[in-house]
Amino acid sequence: MSEAPPLEGQKAVRLRLAPASGGRRVRAVVVRRLRAIASFVRWRPRFGAFALGSVLESPLLLTNPGHVEIGRGVHIRAGARIEALDTDAGPARIVIGDGTSIHLHFHCGAALRVEIGKNVLIAGGVYVTDHDHAFDDPSQPVIANEAVLAAPTILEDECWLGEGAKVLKGVRIGRGAIVAAGAIVTRDVPAYTIVAGIPARPIQRWDARASAWVPVPNGDPRR
């Protein structure tokens, strides 16, 4: 049998998503508005803030929604777990900015503060946290330890978190940054930088002069 030729990587082509046509578009807008009204009636009284026009799908798990603020035009799909914990520092706060879209099975836990900016795109299975269980006393099983170690976590406007990305405590993700699918982010990400891997390292940054994403040698965005 002759040997198979080596496989070559496929080059990505740029496509435009087709807008829904006529009747389908109108139906989608009407359904979206009805769902937003139903969400507003159901969730506005329970949340710290819940702007009209946002949709929060069930099932979901909520802890202290009174400390969670949801901006305008936010969409959080089913399976979310959103927990603002009470600690001796007071109630934690979670803020989700206008226009942010969050796909299935989002988990967000705050012991101090998690801020998610405006027009952020979050894919499915993403985890954003600002704390760990304390593990400084190995004689106590973690499950029996009520302490946490916390530092605020911030996602600035217009960033994009790929499928399954995890963002750990104390991280700031800069405006317009991109977190690759499956990445675990343990350090700050500069604006307009793409990070990937575990732990996440910069792989590309936006070069405004060249008007292009350029590779980042050795994971250092300053080079």
Pairwise CA distance, residues 38 & 83, whole Å: 22
Min dist CB 121 to ligand COA, Å, is: 6
**Region for 156 from its dihedrals, namely left if φ exceeds 0, alpha if ψ lies in -120 to 50, beta otherwise:** beta
Interface with ligand COA in residues 136-155 (CB under 6 A): none
Cis peptide before 65 (omega within 30 of 0): no
> Which CB atom, from 85 or from 178, has the smaller least distance to ligand COA?
178
> Which CB atom, from 121 or from 147, has the smaller least distance to ligand COA?
121
> Which CB atom, from 70 or from 178, has the smaller least distance to ligand COA?
178
Pairwise CA distance, residues 66 & 82, whole Å: 11
- How many CB atoms are located within 10 Å of the residue 48 CB? 16
Min dist CB 166 to ligand COA, Å, is: 12
Q: Kindly indicate which of the ranges 69-77, 80-88, 107-115, 193-201 contains the residues binding ligand COA, using the contact rule CB under 6 A.
A: 193-201
SS3 content of the chain, % helix, strand, coil (to 5): 15, 35, 50
Strands 86-87 and 193-196: unpaired
**Closest CA relative to residue 102, chosen from 25, 49, 161:** 161
Count of residues near ligand COA by CB under 6 A: 13
Active site residue 103: no
Strands 201-207 and 212-215: antiparallel
> Which CB atom, from 11 or from 209, has the smaller least distance to ligand COA?
11
Min dist CB 118 to ligand COA, Å, is: 17
Write the burial class of residue 210 (CB in 10 Å: 0-12 exposed, 13-18 middle, 19+ buried). exposed
Told to check if 181 binds ligand COA by CB under 6 A, we report yes
Which listed residue (103, 107, 131, 133) is catalytic? 133
> Measured at CB, which residue is nearest to ligand COA?
162
Residue that the structure tokens 């159901």 belong to: 42
* The binder of ligand COA chosen from 65, 73, 152, 162 (CB under 6 A): 162
* The binder of ligand COA chosen from 68, 84, 178, 216 (CB under 6 A): 178
> Which CB atom, from 91 or from 164, has the smaller least distance to ligand COA?
164
Pairwise CA distance, residues 106 & 129, whole Å: 11
Interface with ligand COA in residues 95-124 (CB under 6 A): 121, 123
Q: Residues interacting with ligand COA, by CB under 6 A?
A: 121, 123, 162-163, 178, 180-182, 194, 196-197, 203-204
For the annotated catalytic residues, the residue numbers are 133
